[in-house]
Chain A
């Protein structure tokens, strides 16, 4: 069964600290993995995308990693800011044809940054 599991479910850290969010998936066949950020009251917004051959990708203070062998991904946030408070959703796609792609969502990690 295609599944995406994220941990932790929620996380509270102090402003300026680093944190790492985890994503494990069992989706097959694998096309790509994306991390989305969802601010309260808004729709998710893509942060990074990785395909099978990529094992790390950065977007500012966000760095995503992918281990396609163990089917694990992580999102590392450096020097957290109050604006990083949001839900972070791991999304795995299983088909290269976006019109028929199977897109499986994780349930997200709720990150809260405290001043």
Chain B
């Protein structure tokens, strides 16, 4: 019973291509996130959605477009991929209680060549 699942786990593509990463959570959480983890293992928030509505957009290039068809899904579409987009992308969700922990997916390793 995977709580937060991301697909694909690995994604290798060429510069200029468009790709999507999917995320689904079965925890009934209202809030979902996308994080980018760089080569130094630092996690940076990209987007936050609450009940399908965008809450946080942390100065991410508009080539990145999140889409939330329902509150259990938050997909990430990336246009015109660049070398600097290579990273591990994590989806996460959190419950409504203030002390609820983030539940992370296992990440999608994106490599742009």
Number of residue pairs spanning A and B whose beta carbons lie under 8 angstroms apart:
63
Complex Cα distance A62/B15, Å? Answer: 43
Q: Which residues of A contact B101 (CB under 8 A)?
A: 34, 36, 46, 49
Contact with A along B29-61 (1 / 0, CB 8 A): 011000000001111110010100001000000
Q: How many chain A residues have a CB neighbour from B under 8 Å?
A: 29
Q: Which residues of A contact B41 (CB under 8 A)?
A: 38, 87, 107-108, 110
In the complex, the answer to whether A100 meets B55 with C-beta atoms within 8 Å is yes
Interface range for B: 20 to 34
From B50, B90, B104, B105, give the contact of A99 (CB < 8 A): B50
Could you pull out 15 A-B pairs where Cβ atoms are within 8 angstroms?
A43-B90, A44-B90, A46-B102, A98-B31, A98-B94, A98-B97, A98-B100, A99-B31, A100-B50, A100-B55, A101-B94, A101-B98, A107-B40, A108-B41, A110-B41
Q: Given known contacts A42-B106, A98-B94, A100-B55, what 11 new A-B pairs fall within 8 Å (CB)?
A: A43-B4, A43-B104, A43-B106, A46-B102, A49-B99, A96-B98, A98-B97, A99-B48, A105-B43, A105-B44, A108-B42
Residues of B that sit less than 8 Å from A by CB: 4, 30-31, 40-45, 48, 50, 55, 90, 92, 94-102, 104-107
